[in-house]
Structure 1
Amino acid sequence: MNRAESQDAPAAAEHAPSRWQRLKKPLTALFFLLLIVLFTLLARRIDWSEVFDTLQDFKVRTLIIASTITVLSFLTYACFDLIGRTYIGQNLTWRQILPVGVISYAFNLNLSAWVGGIAMRYRLYSRLGVSKGNIAKILGLSLATNWFGYMLVAGAIFSSGLVHMPPGWKLSSTALQGVGLLLLLVSAGYLAACRFSSRREWSIRGVEINLPSLRMAVLQLALGALNWSLMAAVIFTLLPSTLDYPLVLGVLLISAIAGVITHIPAGLGVLEAVFVALLQHQASRGSLVAGLLAYRAIYFLLPLLITVAMYLVVEAKAKALRIEKKPS
């Protein structure tokens, strides 16, 4: 082999697809095929007449309560970005921040984090004159707020033993309690790092990350945990009254991880499968599915319709402003 060939060999090796890259697509296709089979089997075991009867029997008062809690949840999530404003030190008003958070959250829930959490935030914050670097910081802080809040509330619920896994599941109830303790330790570790760490700055792919103050970190965990709790409260309002709120919250937290693993937008089907699997011994499958369908309508679809209108208004105002500034 001559020198030119020996120099080209490493470069060719770098561009050659790895074994994992070659297997990733067929394994992903197989995984989704198994999900389709699972959901089909689940659908065949549901008494759909009971589902439709339960949906028709919902009281207006119940729907109003669920809708009100949904509004509180969306405002709570939008407050993640208010923390981000303080974090980056940008002079933006809450009237500018909250619509961005609400619109992004609705698109995030229905169309994936890439569309709502990332692309929508970049577009809307760019309209407000926020730099790409600061937008990335807001995104990172919002992500941390959501998942550290999750760890706090999930750690408390799982470690308490309120959620019992069905017999035969690979993860036992005792193991779930261990996971809960681990999540609490991670949450405490984050707070300790924010309080005691001497190093406060890191750079990841050119984006500077600053460790927040302890006060800001506590606020992150509180808001993140509150939002997950409000999500569960919406579901709890719509499910049979025989179920306890801590149990509903715990099952929601388990289903959230399943939704992240599958990467299905809005966790479509995953949420229902987990709730039915874990709660079918305490409530009928039909009543569970009916409550979750109502939850999707109130928490996912209705906010998406509203925020699409909000987004169109924002775009129209931005276009009008560009026309006014355009030299004649």
Structure 2
Amino acid sequence: MARHAPPAHPLAHAWARVRRPLLVLALLALLGFIAWRARSLDWAAAWAALLDYRPGTLLLAALAAAAAHALYTGYDLLGRYYSGHHLPPARVAATAFVSFAANLNLGSMVGGVALRLRLYARQGLPMATIVRVWGLSLLTNWIGYAALAGTVFLSGWVELPPDAPLSSHALRLIGLGLVSAVVLYLAACRWSRRRLWTLRGHRLELPHAGLALAQVVLSALHWALVACVLYVLLHGRVGYPTVLGALMTTSMAVIALRVPGGLGVLEAVFMALLAGLQPEAQLLAALLAYRALFYLLPLAAALLVYLGLETRLRRTRPATAPRMARPQA
């Protein structure tokens, strides 16, 4: 991957000046909405609903969360194949698990970038290879998201309440755009004669068709399992396509506003989308349990894995670096 610096367009300069103030205003407005909603919620009823969960329900949701985290580690294993490096698969999976848990709770710059870079660099990978692994992991996550969300939105299965911020027609148009992007990506990986592309000054190599298809399938399964966690915690009283559609929409809001862990954003948007389909207390209890099982519990496990990795790397620092990736353009 090579870096070239093309001249910036004047509109890019203008957008750079107004982007941060606009994001700050949007975040302040959202925080105000969250604070207003929090004051109107019946927290006592939500706590009672949370304590009312049966152990079997929590166990099933925890297993779905664990499976979703396990599938995410496969993104970096695909990156291992794509970049050609030869770190042991178990160590790659451990690095990906720690990075994903930190990414969920602390933000992408901490977990998705900084922590992954540190761990891979300490294991001997050069920066170019780390960027290739990270880039493929990021692409895998969002190409699978686009495939699954686009299919669900386009199908019309999502049952949103009448006062939802998106209409069914707008949702189908978004779904069409997402599915089209996935089809174009797969077609380019299969038939494009031009394998190297330049995107914002970076030269990127297209993966082959088999790897691209594996990206879509693996990531779509991951997102489907994440939705299963919420579906189980809602006792199956809201249709799975509706839960999945609400999760897809909520995830976009979390990414757009860049709040670490989506704290407050996830709860506010999800409850707004499913308002009227379940009592507010049950929705809030499900979201609190979801945050505990999918965010906080894996973060605690990831901390132990991280300490184990650091300890092992100090004790067994190799005299020579592991075999690196094949030479890249």
Q: TM-score, normalised by structure 2?
A: 0.88
Q: Which residue of 2 aligns with 1:191?
A: 186
How far does the alpha carbon of each residue in 1:151-198 deviate from its partner, in whole angstroms, 9 at most, with x for none?
100011001112244445553211111111121111111110000100
The structure that is helix-richer by fraction is 1
Please, which of 314, 319, 323 is the counterpart of residue 319 of structure 1?
314
Secondary structure, aligned partner of 1:209: strand
- 1:175 and 2:170 aligned: yes
Bigger mean CA offset, 300-309 vs 162-171: 162-171
Percent identity of paired positions between Structure 1 and Structure 2:
41
1:1-328 correspondence to structure 2 within 5 Å:
20-167=15-162, 171-202=166-197, 208-322=203-317
Q: Distance in 2 between matches of 1:120 and 1:153?
A: 28
Q: Which residue of 1 aligns with 2:325?
A: none
Given the superposition, is the C-alpha separation of residues 188 and 94 from structure 1 closer, same or farther in structure 2, using an over 3 Å criterion? Answer: same
Given the superposition, is the C-alpha separation of residues 124 and 41 from structure 1 closer, same or farther in structure 2, using an over 3 Å criterion? Answer: same
Bigger mean CA offset, 85-94 vs 169-178: 169-178
| Structure 2 counterpart of 1:29, one-letter code | V
| Contact 1:154–1:250 under 8 Å retained in 2 | yes
| Contact 1:154–1:253 under 8 Å retained in 2 | yes
| Structure 2 counterpart of 1:130, one-letter code | L
Q: How many residues align?
A: 310
Secondary structure, aligned partner of 2:204: strand
Q: Distance in 1 between matches of 2:166 and 2:55?
A: 39
Q: Distance in 2 between matches of 1:159 and 1:140?
A: 28
| Structure 1 counterpart of 2:24, one-letter code | A
Task: Tell which structure's C-alpha radius of gyration is larger.
Answer: 1
1:321 CA drift (Å): 3.1
How far does the alpha carbon of each residue in 1:302-321 deviate from its partner, in whole angstroms, 9 at most, with x for none?
11111111111211222223
1:254 CA drift (Å): 0.3
Q: Distance in 2 between matches of 1:137 and 1:162?
A: 36
Secondary structure, aligned partner of 2:316: helix
1:56 CA drift (Å): 0.6
Q: Distance in 1 between matches of 2:87 and 2:116?
A: 15
Q: Gaps spanning 5+ residues in structure 1: where?
A: 1-13
| Contact 1:150–1:225 under 8 Å retained in 2 | yes
Q: TM-score, normalised by structure 1?
A: 0.89
Q: Distance in 1 between matches of 2:295 and 2:63?
A: 14
**Higher RCO structure (Cα 8 Å, ≥6 apart):** 2
Q: Distance in 2 between matches of 1:194 and 1:323?
A: 37
